Amino acid sequence: MNQPDRDRTPKGRTGVDRTESGEVRLRVGVPRSHVQMPSSSGWGRMWRSVLPLLGQSVSIGIWDKPARSRFRPPPDVWLYDGHQGPLGVPEPTVVHLQEAPWRLPSTRPLLTARFLELYEMPSRYAAEAAERIITPSESSRGQIIDEYDVDPAHVLMVPLGVDLALFRPGRPGAADVIARAGGDPARPYVLYVSTLHPRKNLAALRTAVAGVARRGLPHGLVIAASPPPDREDYQSLIEEAGAELPGAPGRVVLLQKLSDIELAAVMAGATAFCQPSLMEGFGLTTLEAMACGVPVVVSNRGSLPEVVGDAGVVSETDGEALESTLYDLLTDGDRMAKLSRAGLARSLGYSWHATAEGWLRALHEAVPEPQLGPFEWLLPTSVTQTLTQGVRVPIHRRKWARDAEQRLRIIQTPRRVDPPQS
Provide DSSP, 82-136. GGG-----SS-EEEE-----TT-TTTGGG--HHHHHHHHHHHHHHHHH-SEEEES
pLDDT digits (tens, 9 = 90+) for 126-180: 999 999 999 999 999 999 999 999 999 999 999 999 999 999 999 999 999 999 9
67's CB contacts (< 8 A; 6+ apart) are: none
- Tell me the torsion sign for CA atoms 84, 86, 91, 95: positive
Is it the case that residue 59 has pLDDT exceeding 90?
Answer: yes
- pLDDT computed for residue 19 by the predictor: 52
- pLDDT for 315-357, tens place per residue? 999 999 999 999 999 999 999 999 999 999 999 999 999 999 9
Residue 15, pLDDT above cutoff 50: no
pLDDT, position 39: 76
Domain with CATH 3.40.50.2000 in the chain: 17-161+351-366, 174-347
pLDDT of residue 72: 83
Average pLDDT of span 59-87 = 89
Task: CATH number for 174-347: choose from 3.40.50.300, 3.40.50.2000, 3.40.1670.10, 1.10.3720.10.
Answer: 3.40.50.2000
Decide: helix, strand or coil at residue 298.
strand
List, for residues 219-260, the tens digit of each pLDDT value: 999 999 887 777 776 788 889 999 999 999 999 999 998 999
- DSSP for 169-225 reads TT---HHHHHHHTT--TTS-EEEEEEE--GGG-HHHHHHHHHHHHHTT---EEEEEE
CA distances (Å), origin 342, targets 50, 291, 297, 317, 413: 26, 10, 13, 23, 14
List the Cα angle 215/217/218 in 5-degree steps. Answer: 140
Question: Cβ(333)–Cβ(301) under 8 Å?
Answer: no
Give the per-residue pLDDT at 71: 77
Q: What angle separates helix 395-408 from helix 333-347, to the nearest 10 degrees?
A: 170
CATH 3.40.50.2000 fits 17-161+351-366, yes or no: yes
Is residue 107 within 8 A of residue 101, CB to CB? The reply is yes
| Tens-place pLDDT, residues 174-197 | 999 999 999 999 999 999 999 898
pLDDT of 380 over the 50 cut: no
Query: What is the gyration radius of the CA atoms in the chain, in angstroms?
Result: 23
At 16-47, the pLDDT tens digits run 465 555 566 899 999 999 988 877 788 889 99
Query: ∠ CA 341-289-173 to the nearest 5 degrees?
Result: 105
Provide the pLDDT for residue 128. Answer: 95
Sign of CA dihedral 59, 63, 66, 70: negative
Q: Where are the alpha helices (DSSP H) in 28-67?
A: 32-35, 42-54
What 8-state DSSP symbol labels residue 245? Answer: B
